[in-house]
Structure 1
Amino acid sequence: MGSQESVPQAEGVHVVVVGGGFGGIAAAQQLRSEGLNFTLIDLRDAFHHNVAALRASVQPGFAQRTFIPYAETFGDSFVQGRVERVDTDRQMVVLQGGREIQYSHLILCTGTDGPFPGKFNTMASYQTAVQTYEDFVQQVQAADSVVVVGGGSTGVEMAAEIKTEYPDKKVVLIHSRIGLADPELLPSVRQQAKEVLLEKGVELLLGQKVSNLSELRLNVTQKNMVVTTDKGETLTTDLLVCCTGLKVNSAAYASSFSGCLADNGALKVNQHLRVEGFNNVFAVGDCADVKEPKMAYHAGLHAAVAVSNIASSLSGRELTSYQTGNITMLLAMGRDDGVGQFNGFKLPRCLVTLGKSRDLLLWKSWREMKQKQP
């Protein structure tokens, strides 16, 4: 039975998608192609391709390419607002200000939150968001030296972006562990990330934590700030950028699904990505408690399974299970270099540069949103 045949049975079906990140827009597009009625809700009025957020932080004029207005793609099926809670008894999503939206099925794709510039989870217009990045570029340009705190994948990419765009600036990366980037990457890929940073001239301070972080101003250029570490080292810098502290964005659903939360706030799901205890609620992307790295690529795969299972449940077909696979992860090390692995195999740097680093997959999001890149 083709998916379009389920449309006559879809009366009374209204799928609400909470969160318009990579998982959310993938879910919305697939719901549309299944002919299912849906509403996509997000804080902002534009999708943020945050894979390119770090480039937008260093390159003037780049930020406008990283925000894509929702309304042009989804029209009346998009609602801007902050979801405060879900009333599971009445099957209502409750927005700040009191507006309620009824659902027959719910897909939660609230993602992760973290410090700017890696994340921009603020209730703001597209123009405000772009301007916030342009203002940050000016802070970077005004600094002679930058300290990046955190050497996970975001910190590694941030340090590389700054040093690539501004090779004369002093860039120091401080990381609490010895190994850089995501622990789930192959050791040889993590080592390669370290080599690229050193080749670019980034100074590394590994196995140390910044001890006075709470006393320092982030993202604002201020000459000769003193940074101290737990190992007693001190250094001065003009700009401090924090790339640590990613956390699951659970505010929209935590009170309603308190019995289904993992320790980190993600939602426990079964193999069909249904939230435990609910047949009509799915979790997709970073807020689903699935043992794999938090990546845009995985969010898209989750969305396909969730929407396919909604369509299947309406037409009595068998549900699809989500299977985790070997890890594919690409790190853009500035626009001219990159490291990564595909399906568990290490890739040559030139391939990662071609595949991701040059354009940061922006073309893919603009194509998915069926809009023309400026």
Structure 2
Amino acid sequence: MGSQQSAETLGCHVVVVGGGFGGVAASQLLKSRGLDFTLIDMRDAFHHNVAALRASVQPGFAQRTFIRYAETFGPRFVQGRVERVDTQRQTVVLQGGREISYSHLILCTGTDGAFPGKFNTEASYQTAVQTYEDFVSQVQAAGSVLVVGGGSTGVEMAAEIKTEYPDKKVVLIHSKIALADAELRPSVRQQAKQVLLEKGVELLLGQKVVNLSELQLNVCSRNSSVRTDKQQTLKTDLIVRCTGLKVNSSAYASSFSCLAANGALKVNEQLQVDGFVNVFAVGDCADVNEPKMAYHAELHAAVAVSNIANSLSGKPLTSYHTGNVTMLLAMGRDDGVGQFNGVRLPRCVVTLGKSRDLLLWKSWRQMQQTQP
């Protein structure tokens, strides 16, 4: 590749921090444009966490949700945890002291949250897969499961458990009355509620668990007592938390002052971090007013890479504009609800489009590997 580089790309080295959907999309786009890059992630495998909840209930499924970086990116992938960015020297500093210089930086650090919906842990491929297999065993051992949180993750989690194990008692507790994301059409949110009730999930809406910090999560513990703020006591064998998503800002928080209240990086329409022409934020860590989704992270990545290429060749930069919300909820492998470009879709369309395979084919194709 080096001999084929044009004059404007010589000396260009893009560092991509975070190997989620945005980071992988950015890396593949950089690769296709012949731009030199390094992808950094603390794990050795990409996690297709859109399918994490299915991997939590279906034995043997987890191995399909992790895809090794090195097989796709070779020496362009570096495993490590980024501790900070030295914007003066234009270097990324890893835990242990290693430094990687950049001409351009794309930050794609995503969000962190409770397992099993998120798995932001330093772990090998084998350990990651085994962690999910161990959780499947806990679900199988439980006669009853309480899902805490009725956002989209909680709704999908409850549906996955009840679909795979219809004889188990599954209760979903949510502090609000409406389920799923507020950005969804009310009719879609109502449809999500309808599907859960059809599957036999019990709903406790407008209530909050008050003793969550005292309870053991993700481990089967018979007849655990759960108390709510409405003086209700529940007995359950397994508690799964699906709340508390937060922007994963630890890699850059000490290096940039342009942080929103939630830790996301403030960006302009070109997704450049405020005050920097060569630093971009992509996906959940970009302060863009839209749902945090893999789909949007990949759109951001395309804009960021285009703007790096355009800046090198003196072309005008591309702007990113939010559109009508597209969001699909897999309600187990046999049902789904959602909307495309703001328009509600039939349940059968969502089932075919997302629920059956959870878009795994897309990630394996993008990583240019064969799904097991």
Check whether TM > 0.5. Answer: yes
| AA partner of residue 275 (structure 1) | V
- Report matched runs for 1:162-201 at 5 Å: 162-201=161-200
- Per-residue CA shift, 1:273-308, capped at 9, x if unaligned? 000000000000000000000000000000000000
- Report matched runs for 1:202-241 at 5 Å: 202-241=201-240
- 2:290 maps to 292
| AA partner of residue 259 (structure 2) | L
| AA partner of residue 325 (structure 1) | G
| AA partner of residue 254 (structure 2) | S
Shift of 1:7: 3.2
Alpha-carbon contact 1:332-1:339 (below 8 Å) kept: yes
Shift of 1:11: 1.0
Shift of 1:8: 2.9
- 2:247 maps to 248
State the secondary structure of the residue aligned to 2:132: helix
Partner Cα separation in structure 1 for residue 283 and residue 129 of structure 2: 25
Partner Cα separation in structure 1 for residue 191 and residue 329 of structure 2: 11
1:119 and 2:118 are equivalent in the alignment:
yes
- 2:358 maps to 360
| AA partner of residue 45 (structure 1) | D
- 2:134 maps to 135
State the secondary structure of the residue aligned to 1:192: helix
- 1:334 maps to 332
State the secondary structure of the residue aligned to 1:31: helix
Partner Cα separation in structure 1 for residue 310 and residue 282 of structure 2: 17
Partner Cα separation in structure 1 for residue 300 and residue 190 of structure 2: 30
- Report matched runs for 1:295-374 at 5 Å: 295-374=293-372
Partner Cα separation in structure 2 for residue 367 and residue 48 of structure 1: 14
| AA partner of residue 323 (structure 1) | H
Partner Cα separation in structure 2 for residue 238 and residue 349 of structure 1: 31
Q: Which residues of structure 1 form unaligned runs of 5+?
A: none
Alpha-carbon contact 1:147-1:237 (below 8 Å) kept: yes
Partner Cα separation in structure 2 for residue 18 and residue 24 of structure 1: 7
Alpha-carbon contact 1:6-1:311 (below 8 Å) kept: no
TM-score (norm 2): 0.99
Partner Cα separation in structure 2 for residue 250 and residue 307 of structure 1: 21
- 1:157 maps to 156
- Report matched runs for 1:260-275 at 5 Å: 260-275=258-273
State the secondary structure of the residue aligned to 2:162: helix
| AA partner of residue 300 (structure 2) | H
Shift of 1:9: 1.6
Partner Cα separation in structure 2 for residue 34 and residue 285 of structure 1: 21
Q: Determine what percentage of the aligned residue pairs are the same residue.
A: 82
Alpha-carbon contact 1:18-1:109 (below 8 Å) kept: yes
Partner Cα separation in structure 2 for residue 7 and residue 30 of structure 1: 17
State the secondary structure of the residue aligned to 1:275: coil
| AA partner of residue 236 (structure 1) | K
Please give the root-mean-square deviation of Cα atoms over the aligned residues, in Å: 0.9
Shift of 1:5: 9.2
Partner Cα separation in structure 2 for residue 355 and residue 138 of structure 1: 29
Partner Cα separation in structure 2 for residue 19 and residue 297 of structure 1: 16
Shift of 1:59: 0.0
Partner Cα separation in structure 1 for residue 327 and residue 333 of structure 2: 16
Alpha-carbon contact 1:181-1:193 (below 8 Å) kept: yes
Shift of 1:6: 7.2
Structure 1 runs of 4+ with >6 Å offset? none
Partner Cα separation in structure 1 for residue 24 and residue 221 of structure 2: 39
Alpha-carbon contact 1:7-1:35 (below 8 Å) kept: no
Shift of 1:145: 0.1
Partner Cα separation in structure 1 for residue 66 and residue 107 of structure 2: 21
Partner Cα separation in structure 2 for residue 298 and residue 339 of structure 1: 19
Partner Cα separation in structure 2 for residue 19 and residue 68 of structure 1: 14
| AA partner of residue 274 (structure 1) | Q
| AA partner of residue 120 (structure 2) | N
Alpha-carbon contact 1:112-1:286 (below 8 Å) kept: yes
1:18 and 2:17 are equivalent in the alignment:
yes
- 2:281 maps to 283
- Report matched runs for 1:59-98 at 5 Å: 59-98=58-97
Partner Cα separation in structure 2 for residue 157 and residue 122 of structure 1: 22
Q: Which residues of structure 2 form unaligned runs of 5+?
A: none
Size of the alignment, in residue pairs?
A: 370
| AA partner of residue 368 (structure 2) | K
TM-score (norm 1): 0.98
State the secondary structure of the residue aligned to 1:260: coil
Partner Cα separation in structure 2 for residue 306 and residue 7 of structure 1: 20
Shift of 1:266: 0.2
